[in-house]
Structure 1
């Protein structure tokens, strides 16, 4: 991909203040990456300029957006380590209004590399919003994007802390299964600690129920229990189990490009609208 078209695509376009969401859950297999990809694509489909930052060394979000391994020579490792700027690391995707900073296994060694740095928890925030002291709204991402979604790794490590330190809110995918609430308290404690020590603005943006099967009474019971336990922080929209959602990553596409009419795509469009309502950012596209 040539750099000149990318620079043109990233010319400043200020609509509303940038909002940054970390999509996080330390449990694997809960639909975290699926949610990051498809929520990002849905926000882009309704006219928002969206950047997806792949912060998982497995790079599944990058694969799901069609970024091949050979196209990841400049990636989120380089962005966080200061070896590349946001403009150099971001790539356009096949979805209009959607860009990605890809990831590969380079990222796995970053924890050790930055462990002694006094700013180790702030690297992503500074890459997106500029070094400490940069005026609000003038960082590299502020005037280029409306939303940044960060695909966090399935663990509570320094990469996850970076995602939360950079974020305004955390979106928590929660699978509709028996152990849905197991480990959630640990995640909420981590969010609270980050809020107290690193990012006072951090909040739980919302919890999204994933892999919901309306034919299964257990899904309905889990959903009811989660809503009773967490109240209004749970999004009204649930994401169903859907074969097309599962197939789309193997084709390097968000579900909206693979099959816009499928139940999964339509659910993520509804979720995007709900996210925007909570942000008081009405859908105009």
Structure 2
């Protein structure tokens, strides 16, 4: 059976999609889940945060080559271990991305190309329980390929007006366009509010209330607060357990609770 595929996205950049993808995957692995992270953003932020580095002298296979191959199961040759020295990382795999993935955008006009990621994943994620797909901040070809391959979508937003507008565009796109992606079963499973100032600024409280009004029960708990430990762990490509920066404990706890919400709210894999 295929992994439960969750597409992590927003139509605005800088909201922390890659961070939520990586840290939620880690929290699920701690719970004994076998988790894949598929980096589908040419920036490769999720890949780097998992300790992956592109070797120009001996180029590794990435998601770009799997999609370009246009073959069933092509992603099977891309998986690589997450390079973290913690026990639960043994249950995590990465399908990395590099700048070359941007070239797949030029193929958007080829009929049926939005199904290439689904084709590449067919039979190639059966060894996983969950697959989190980190998308670029757009609703164009790469994101459409991810949505065509996914079972559910998870929006990440900040309590800030442009991020909220981007989240609304994602919600409306899924509702109105999923049939054009040949994925009528795609669902919007939730909205994660990320990077909230723990001091409780009035403007962010107002925007958080707005998110709850707009998305209602789709808003997941807990809200993820801004923590120095997250920035340090991201910069050093480390799991939260291996950083001593301020707020590491609360950050770990928040994502562990978020993993509980994920398991309660998620649809079963097809």
Under a length normalisation based on structure 1, what TM-score does the superposition of the two structures give? 0.83
Partner deviation per Cα, 1:138-175 (whole Å, 9 max, x = no partner): x2212x01011001011121000011111111111110
Q: Structure 2: any 5+ residue segments left out of the alignment? A: none
For 2:49 and 2:216, the matched residues in 1 are separated by 32
3-state SS in 2 of match to 1:266: helix
Match of 1:100 among 94, 99, 103: 94
1:97-246 counterparts in 2 under 5 A? 97-112=91-106, 114-129=107-122, 139-142=123-126, 144-198=127-181, 199-215=183-199, 216-246=201-231
- Count of aligned positions: 255
Tell whether the 8 Å contact from 2:76 to 2:121 is kept in structure 1 after alignment: no
For 2:177 and 2:240, the matched residues in 1 are separated by 33
Q: Which residue of 2 aligns with 1:38?
A: 23
Tell whether the 8 Å contact from 1:178 to 1:218 is kept in structure 2 after alignment: no
3-state SS in 1 of match to 2:261: helix
For 1:39 and 1:87, the matched residues in 2 are separated by 23
Classify 1:220/1:255 alpha carbon distance in 2 versus 1 (closer, same or farther; 3 Å): same
CA displacement at 1:257 relative to structure 2: 4.5
For 1:190 and 1:280, the matched residues in 2 are separated by 19
Match of 1:278 among 254, 262, 265: 265
Classify 1:76/1:122 alpha carbon distance in 2 versus 1 (closer, same or farther; 3 Å): same
Q: Which residue of 2 aligns with 1:60?
A: 45
CA displacement at 1:271 relative to structure 2: 0.3
3-state SS in 2 of match to 1:181: helix
For 1:177 and 1:189, the matched residues in 2 are separated by 19
Tell whether the 8 Å contact from 2:4 to 2:267 is kept in structure 1 after alignment: no
3-state SS in 1 of match to 2:256: helix
3-state SS in 1 of match to 2:216: helix
Tell whether the 8 Å contact from 1:55 to 1:150 is kept in structure 2 after alignment: yes
Match of 2:76 among 78, 87, 109: 87
Partner deviation per Cα, 1:28-85 (whole Å, 9 max, x = no partner): 1101110011111111111111111101111111000000121862101011112783
CA displacement at 1:118 relative to structure 2: 2.0
For 2:92 and 2:59, the matched residues in 1 are separated by 17
3-state SS in 2 of match to 1:58: coil
- Higher helix fraction: Structure 1 or Structure 2? 2
For 2:61 and 2:209, the matched residues in 1 are separated by 44
Q: Which residue of 2 aligns with 1:28?
A: 13
Deviates more, 1:181-190 or 1:90-99: 181-190
For 2:217 and 2:108, the matched residues in 1 are separated by 37
Q: CA RMSD in A?
A: 2.1
Classify 1:99/1:228 alpha carbon distance in 2 versus 1 (closer, same or farther; 3 Å): same
3-state SS in 1 of match to 2:43: coil
